[in-house]
Structure 1
């Protein structure tokens, strides 16, 4: 079964409120077997839009678990805490 990946580009607009998201989201990630492969660090946009402030890649044991995590009550609670605190683009991708 192919793994699933979240690819997120984030620009934090309210660090204090974003900290609430950061405190809540790991519970959902742990519950669905996620591994954080990249978070922050050096990056540069080689094509397309500007380099985001923060890029995150999260690996899940399966594509379905990646979807289930996003739709879970735990993640939706974290997402609600993040509302208004960041501009976020998330794509969920099936691995090879």
Structure 2
């Protein structure tokens, strides 16, 4: 079964307020088996629109990623995040097919 991912590109308007969101998101992400693969860090914008912060969270399945996003606990955290930032977010299914050169 393919893994699921959240991919988010975020601009934070209020760093202090955003800390409330960070404190609230840990429980639902952990409960649904999520783990951060990318959480900020250096990046080079090559093409298209860029935001200051990039995040990739891996879940054991696409359904787990959706369930976390739609959970009551995460929706409460999301309402807080939206007060302090702007973001582009997708939930996407991982790929398990052939790789280049295979």
Normalising by the smaller structure, the TM-score range is over 0.9
- For residues 6-58 of structure 1, the C-alpha deviation after alignment (integer angstroms, 9 at most, x for no partner) is 000000001121110000001010000001001111012111113x2100000
Determine the structure 1 residue equivalent to 2:83. Answer: 84
| Structure 1 residue 84, shift from structure 2 partner | 2.0
- Describe how 1:8-19 pairs up with structure 2 within 5 A: 8-19=8-19
Cα distance in 2, alignment partners of residues 94 and 83 from structure 1? 24
- What root-mean-square deviation, in Å, do the aligned CA atoms of Structure 1 and Structure 2 show? 0.8
Determine the structure 2 residue equivalent to 1:93. Answer: 92
- SS of the residue aligned with 1:33? coil
- SS of the residue aligned with 2:78? helix
Q: Which has the larger radius of gyration?
A: 2
| Structure 1 residue 91, shift from structure 2 partner | 0.7
Moved over 3 A (4+): none
Report the TM-score when normalising by structure 1: 0.95
Aligned residues: 95
Residue 22 (str. 1) matches residue 17 (str. 2): no
